[in-house]
C-alpha cells in the first residue's frame, strides 16, 4: 500500500475526517487552519482515507512539529503504523514531534513508535472570561 499526504484546503471532507475525533473540536481545528496550520489529506493507493492537521510550534531553543488532529479510517489497516512515519518525515528541522491525545490505545501505539509521555494536561471549565 502506498500512503501519500497531500496538502489541501478545508472542505466538507476535512469536516468528515477530523470530525471523527469529535465534532465539538471542529471549530478549534478550523481556527488553527485559518491561523497557519496545514491540512493534509491521507491517500492510500490514491483513495482518500483520512485527514491530518499539523503545525510547527517555535520555542526559544528550537521547534516542535505538532500533530493537532487526525481522523483516518481504512478497514483492516493500522493507519498509525502507515501514516505516522509519513507525517514525521514532513517535519524537517524540528527537534521533536508532539501529539496530544486522550485515547489510551493511541498512547500505546505511539509508545511503540518511540514516543514518551511528556506531560499531563488538566482542564477546568470556567464561566467567566474577559476574552469572550
pLDDT digit of tens for each residue in the chain (132 aa)?
A: 899 999 999 999 999 999 998 889 999 999 999 999 999 999 999 999 999 999 999 999 999 999 999 999 988 888 888 899 999 999 999 999 999 888 889 999 999 999 999 888 888 888 876 765
**95: which DSSP letter?**
S
Could you tell me whether strands 62-72 and 96-99 are parallel, antiparallel, or unpaired per DSSP bridges? parallel
d(CA 127, CA 114): 39
What is the structure's pLDDT at 109? 92
User: 103-112: which pairs have CB atoms within 8 A and are 24 or more residues apart?
Assistant: 106/80, 109/78, 109/80, 109/81, 110/80, 110/84
Taking the model in full, what pTM does it have? 0.88
In whole angstroms, what is the distance from residue 76 CA to residue 42 CA?
A: 16
Question: How many other C-beta atoms lie within 10 A of the C-beta of residue 121?
Answer: 6
- C-alpha angle with apex 24: 38 to 16, nearest 5 degrees? 55
At 25 the pLDDT is 92
> At the fourth CATH level, which superfamily is domain 3-112?
Gcn5-related N-acetyltransferase (GNAT) (3.40.630.30)
Structural domain spans, the chain? 3-112
- Inter-residue contact 10 to 28 (CB < 8 Å): no
Residue 72 φ then ψ, to 5°: -140, 150
pLDDT of amino acid 132 = 55
Amino acid at each position: 500500500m502506498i500512503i501519500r499526504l497531500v496538502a489541501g484546503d478545508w472542505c466538507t471532507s476535512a469536516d468528515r475526517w477530523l470530525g471523527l475525533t469529535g465534532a465539538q473540536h471542529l471549530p478549534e481545528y478550523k481556527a488553527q487552519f485559518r491561523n497557519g496550520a496545514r491540512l493534509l489529506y491521507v491517500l492510500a493507493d490514491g483513495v482518500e482515507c483520512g485527514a491530518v492537521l499539523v503545525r510547527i510550534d517555535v520555542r526559544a531553543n528550537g521547534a516542535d512539529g505538532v500533530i493537532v488532529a487526525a481522523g483516518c479510517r481504512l478497514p483492516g489497516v493500522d493507519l498509525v503504523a502507515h501514516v505516522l512515519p509519513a507525517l514525521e518525515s514532513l517535519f524537517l528541522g524540528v527537534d521533536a514531534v508532539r501529539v496530544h491525545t486522550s485515547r489510551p490505545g493511541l498512547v500505546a501505539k505511539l509508545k511503540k513508535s518511540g514516543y514518551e509521555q511528556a506531560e499531563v494536561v488538566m482542564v477546568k471549565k470556567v464561566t467567566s472570561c474577559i476574552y469572550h
